Amino acid sequence: MGLSVALNLIAVSGCVLLLCGSSWGINASVPLVIWHGMGDSCCNPLSMGAIKKMVEEEVPGIYVLSLMIGKSVVQDTENSFFMDVNEQVSFVCDQLAQDPKLKGGYNAMGFSQGSQFLRGVVQRCPDPPMKNLISVGGQHQGVFGLPRCPGESSHICDWIRKMLNSGAYTDTVQKHLVQAQYWHDPLNDDLYKKHSLFLADINQERVVNETYKKNLMSLNKFVMVKFLQDTMVDPVDSEWFGFYKPGQAKELETLQESAIYTEDRLGLAEMDSAGKLVFLATDGDHLQFTREWFNDNLLPYLH
């Protein structure tokens, strides 16, 4: 699910703190890696290109790597729909390991689906080390609905979900449709846990991989941003690692109420107790925010 910021960020005029010479005490030697969302690319001047430029303006001297998945912008965009997520994560892990500017570690910022993909990176590839992970509208418990679907009360939504679910967990769809790999059907929990190639693995649904847990817990901060008027992500609570209670698709539960937390399969409960989890919210639709909001709320974690 991609960034259509258009850009509210750039439209904001006036003086922002860092631009005016104030300082958050940011150490520009910590690089930033960003991963775009569905249908976007590394270098779109209205989205990731603008984000990269903005961060470079706010933090002079910072190295910002906007990930290109493939050999061209066109391929990068196509891969956000059709390239196996596990292959994408491996591709990125190799790219990061070969970049000498990242040897000392880096911060990571994901936009929409890029957020959970970067979580896959930190859990699977601890070298070079990720320091902070900033998830901007990511779906860490997946989705069970389509972009701009009419809403929870609509029978149409349930019908569309059932149609997608009828094929979402087949081998062919799982391997060739990115969004199917984080499709999470609470009405067919066993099917999801057995056949989800990406999300069920990184969320420790089948077995607890202690390495995944250790690597995620190595983060200094895991920041999750939720968009309160989001019409793209269903349910929006997934942006804070919440989801539907198992077996139905009406009642929601928070991260803290979920089994992944109470059983601490990923170390999130321990991270929460240590103050490593940060939950931020902003009024606005999916990935819609101002430059001022970005500077006030996210720039402090780029240190």
Per-residue model confidence (pLDDT) at position 6: 39
Spatial strand order in the sheet of 106-111: 64-66, 32-35, 106-111, 130-136, 221-227, 277-282
Residue 36: active-site member: no
Residue 286: active-site member: yes
Catalytic residue among 66, 112, 135, 196: 112
Question: Contact 205/197 with Cβ under 8 angstroms?
Answer: no
pTM recorded for the entire structure: 0.87
Rounded Cα–Cα distance for residues 93 and 105 (Å): 13
Per-residue model confidence (pLDDT) at position 164: 67
Per-residue model confidence (pLDDT) at position 151: 45
Per-residue model confidence (pLDDT) at position 4: 42
The SS3 assignment for 75 reads helix
Residue 112: active-site member: yes
Question: Contact 180/174 with Cβ under 8 angstroms?
Answer: yes
Residue segments in the chain with a per-residue pLDDT below the cut of 70: 1-28, 146-166
Strands 221-227 and 130-136: parallel
The SS3 assignment for 60 reads coil
Per-residue model confidence (pLDDT) at position 281: 97
Per-residue model confidence (pLDDT) at position 154: 58
Per-residue model confidence (pLDDT) at position 173: 84
pLDDT tens per residue across span 265-277:
999 999 999 999 9
Per-residue model confidence (pLDDT) at position 66: 97
Residues 6+ apart with CB under 8 A from 40: 2, 3, 47, 48, 77, 80, 111
Catalytic residue among 40, 185, 201, 230: 230
Fill in the amino acid letter for 164: L
